[in-house]
């Protein structure tokens, strides 16, 4: 199924009341104007081989006028109209059932986000890159599941996600930038179930392993890398 959509959005203007220094009596609070957005999207949703393969794809383009962003001015977050911006992107999602015991899914997204005009009257400097807009993000998730002789179900899965670098603030402060990050999640689940005449009882045992590995750290870490691993073992039951 192919589709095309058009949407228009609007956010009202307002004013900022969280200020580091109190305003003199009678002084107006810093204000900001409305934001409008026009988004065009063209996509395709498809199923193949008796729904064993699902492929969805989309491309979109969003045009912002008076985009509202939050500037960090000293310790005060201040909302301002940063200017006009275009955000274009493509997305691809694939889900596949390779056999009765193995499935594989993945997705990829690419963003091209940029200002078309920067407001010269903003209260602080506006960086060249839009905040929190990674150019590339993709993930891959294989999953193995099988039934054991005692009726239990065993499931093993791995998730891998890559997110490219991005700035966290409007001013594009280098110390606040986020490096490329690769995230690995591994999980193993054993679920047993039995039926009685009165109720159905089930128990689940899960083991989760997560590893977050930044590909590039910020300059203040002088090129060192770090790795965080969280091991979480859970057992839950209900009778």
Write out the chain's pLDDT in tens, 239 residues: 999 999 999 999 998 877 767 778 878 888 999 999 999 999 999 999 999 999 999 999 999 999 999 998 877 888 999 999 999 999 999 999 999 899 999 999 999 999 999 999 888 899 999 999 999 999 999 999 898 888 888 899 999 999 999 999 999 999 989 999 999 999 898 887 653 333 333 444 455 565 665 544 333 333 333 333 344 444 444 43
Residues 190/203, Cβ–Cβ less than 8 Å: no
Alpha helices, H only, 1-135? none
Closest residue by Cα to residue 53 from 19, 12, 94, 83: 94
Sheet holding 35-48, edge to edge: 2-11, 35-48, 53-73, 76-97, 102-118, 136-147, 153-163, 181-195, 200-214, 228-238
Torsional class of 83: left (φ above 0), alpha (ψ -120 to 50), beta (otherwise): left
Residue 179: its H or E element: none
At 193 the pLDDT is 64
| 97/159 Cα distance (integer angstroms) | 16
Chain-centroid distance of CA 100 in Å reads 30
User: How is the chain split into domains, by residue range?
Assistant: 2-12+33-238
Q: Which fold has domain 2-12+33-238?
A: Maltoporin; Chain A (2.40.170)
Beta bridge partners of 25: none
Q: How far is CA 176 from CA 48, 166, 167, 191, in A?
A: 44, 9, 7, 43
At 196 the pLDDT is 37
Beta-strand runs (E) in the chain: 2-11, 14-15, 31-32, 35-48, 53-73, 76-97, 102-118, 136-147, 153-163, 181-195, 200-214, 228-238
Instruction: List, as own/partner pairs, every contact residues 139-148 make where C-beta atoms lie below 8 angstroms and the sequence separation is at least 24, other chains included.
Output: 139/106, 139/107, 139/108, 140/104, 140/105, 140/106, 141/104, 141/105, 141/106, 142/102, 142/103, 142/104, 143/102, 143/103, 143/104, 143/105, 144/101, 144/102, 145/101, 145/103, 146/101, 148/190
| 170/62 Cα distance (integer angstroms) | 19
């Amino acid at each position: 199924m192919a589709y095309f959509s058009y949407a228009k959005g609007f956010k009202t203007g307002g004013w900022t009341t969280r200020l580091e220094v109190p305003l003199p009596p009678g002084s107006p609070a810093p204000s900001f104007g409305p934001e409008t957005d026009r988004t065009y999207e063209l996509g395709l949703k498809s199923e193949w081989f008796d729904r064993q393969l699902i492929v969805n794809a989309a491309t979109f383009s969003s045009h912002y006028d008076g985009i509202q962003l939050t500037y960090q001015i000293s310790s005060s977050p201040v909302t301002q109209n940063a200017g006009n911006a275009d955000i274009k992107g493509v997305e691809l999602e694939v889900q596949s059932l390779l056999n009765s015991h193995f499935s594989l899914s993945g997705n990829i997204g690419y963003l091209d986000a940029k200002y078309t005009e920067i407001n010269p009257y903003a209260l602080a400097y506006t960086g060249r890159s839009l905040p929190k807009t990674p150019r590339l993000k993709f993930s891959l998730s294989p999953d193995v599941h099988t039934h054991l002789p005692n009726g239990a179900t065993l499931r093993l899965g791995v998730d891998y996600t890559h997110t490219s670098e991005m700035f966290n603030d409007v001013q594009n402060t280098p110390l606040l930038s986020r490096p490329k990050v690769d995230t690995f999640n591994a999980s193993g689940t054993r679920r047993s179930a039995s039926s009685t005449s009165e109720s159905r009882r089930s128990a689940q045992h899960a083991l989760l392993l997560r590893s977050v590995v930044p590909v590039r750290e910020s300059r203040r870490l002088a090129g060192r890398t770090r790795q965080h691993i969280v091991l979480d073992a859970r057992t839950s039951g209900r009778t």
